[in-house]
């Protein structure tokens, strides 16, 4: 579908749109798809050329592995040699949903997906539109969709079709508009290949939820923030707007910094977020994008409390604020 470069089809969330998205996947093209977390840039995970198009559209280093999205646990098992008890338990508890499992790969996984690693990341998304595409694609194609977040490498993830179009509309074949993503931040990643299992990226499924699901197995998962080595792409500066991001633990500190900015004639935009942390997560990337569009020197952000999904919001904000 490379002859279509520059023209991005805008597909609606209806039968014709799902059919067209599926056709593009079958033909080795790229389609941005709505998920419950963020929009993903999808391509056939079993087609090396299609997968390469994802890397070039995103300008992402090819060593950074991709998540394979599948319709159900059975399809996930097909891509793993060792879908162990931890993976089975977490998959049956949280799928479909915002959880990605890192497991040993099977020979069915191509090297382009894993960057040559022996592990593969798998997820069954909960978004109905994504599920319809997965279902249709498993009837006529591989049923496996590789999809990183549909943004340029290192920048803010998209949670609307409009975000995708403005970031990479000229670089992909189509975007399927499924409205706003309900969770708003990327899936939790659990490495099931290590003992104890480790959370490599925070998300809506917290460590507490993971451990309550695992309780009957006697296994206790931990958190790991090694970043670069284990899960490339989780480098410090990520999810980053153009403006410098400054973080504040409380409103008073933020207000006095605002006063200083006014005195020093420094342009700024402020994000207070929402007390409701789920709503904060849902709107986080839109708020960052809107603030950045004002082209301020600095974006001042009030951090949520590190409770529930607040932990993941803070993780993204710390990365957005890291020097880049
Ligand atoms: O919510 C999500 O997970 C979204 C939606 C579209 O599903 N996808 C997403 O993909 O956030 P991406 O590529 O932006 O982030 C996936 C992360 C990357 O940091 C990547 O390095 C890591 O998962 N990852 C994928 N496969 C891996 C592997 N085999 N070993 C270690 N890390 C892996
Ligand atoms: Mg990403």
Contact 260, 254 (CB under 8 A): no
Spatial distance between the Cα atoms of 316 and 284, rounded to a whole number of angstroms? 9
CATH number of 244-321: 3.40.50.11030
- Beta bridge pairs of residue 102: 121, 191
Read off the pLDDT band of 17 (50, 70, 90): very high
Ligand nearest to the CA of residue 185, numbered in listed order: 1
Mean pLDDT is lowest, of 94-103, 132-141, 230-239, 298-307, for: 230-239
Contact 300, 258 (CB under 8 A): yes
The CA distances from residue 221 to 13, 75, 101, 115, in Å, are 38, 25, 13, 25
Q: Whose CA is nearest to atom 15 of ligand 1?
A: 148
Minimal-distance CA residue to ligand 1 atom 21:
232
Structure confidence at residue 225 as a pLDDT band (50, 70, 90): low
Residues 163, 34 contacting (CB under 8 angstroms) = no
Using an 8 Å Cβ cutoff, are 321 and 247 in contact? yes
Nearest of 213, 203, 155, 212 to residue 181 by alpha carbon: 203
CB atoms within 10 A of CB 19: 15
Provide the terminal-to-terminal Cα distance of the chain, rounded to the nearest Å. Answer: 34
| Ligand nearest to the backbone CA of 32 | 1
Q: Which two tokens stand for residue 145?
A: 């969709």
pLDDT at position 228 is 44
Residue corresponding to tokens 């790229």: 30
Q: List pLDDT tens digits, range 199-221.
A: 999 999 999 999 999 999 999 99
Q: Decide whether any atom of ligand 1 lies within 6 Å of the 186 Cβ.
A: yes
If pLDDT is split at 50, 70 and 90, which confidence band does 245 have?
Answer: very high
Name the architecture of domain 9-223: Alpha-Beta Complex (3.90)
Q: Do domains 9-223 and 244-321 have the same CATH topology?
A: no
Q: Any idea where the domains of the chain sit in the sequence?
A: 9-223, 244-321
Of ligand 1's listed atoms, the one at least distance from the Cα of 60 is: 13
Mean pLDDT computed over 101-107: 98
Which of 168, 148, 124, 186 is CA-nearest to residue 64? Answer: 148
């Amino acid at each position: 579908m490379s002859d279509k470069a520059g023209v991005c089809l805008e597909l609606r969330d209806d039968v014709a749109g799902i059919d067209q998205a599926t056709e593009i996947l079958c033909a080795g093209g790229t389609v941005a798809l709505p998920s419950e977390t963020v929009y993903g840039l999808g391509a056939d995970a079993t087609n090396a050329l299609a997968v390469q198009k994802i890397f070039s559209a995103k300008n992402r280093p090819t060593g950074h592995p991709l998540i394979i999205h599948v319709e159900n646990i059975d399809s996930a098992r097909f891509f793993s040699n060792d879908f162990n008890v931890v993976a089975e338990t977490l998959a049956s508890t949280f799928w479909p949903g915002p959880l990605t499992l890192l497991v040993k790969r099977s020979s069915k996984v191509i090297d382009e997906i894993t960057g040559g690693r022996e592990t593969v990341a798998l997820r069954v998304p909960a978004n109905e539109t994504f599920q319809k595409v997965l279902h249709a694609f498993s009837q006529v194609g591989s049923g496996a969709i590789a999809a990183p977040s549909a943004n340029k490498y290192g920048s803010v993830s998209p949670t609307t079709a409009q975000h995708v179009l403005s970031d990479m509309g000229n670089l992909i074949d189509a975007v399927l508009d499924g409205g706003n993503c309900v969770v708003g931040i990327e899936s939790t990643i659990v490495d099931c290949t290590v003992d104890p299992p480790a959370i490599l990226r925070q998300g809506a499924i917290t460590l507490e939820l993971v451990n309550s699901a695992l309780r009957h197995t006697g296994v206790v998962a931990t958190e790991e923030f090694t970043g670069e080595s284990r899960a490339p792409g989780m480098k410090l500066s990520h999810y980053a707007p153009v403006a410098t991001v400054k973080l504040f633990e409380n409103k008073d500190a933020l207000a006095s910094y605002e006063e200083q900015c006014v005195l020093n004639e420094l342009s700024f935009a402020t994000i207070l977020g929402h007390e409701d942390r789920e709503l904060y997560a849902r709107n986080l990337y839109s708020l960052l994008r809107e603030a950045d569009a004002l082209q301020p020197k600095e974006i001042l952000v009030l951090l949520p409390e590190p409770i529930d999904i607040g932990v993941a919001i803070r993780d993204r904000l710390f990365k957005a604020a890291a020097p880049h």
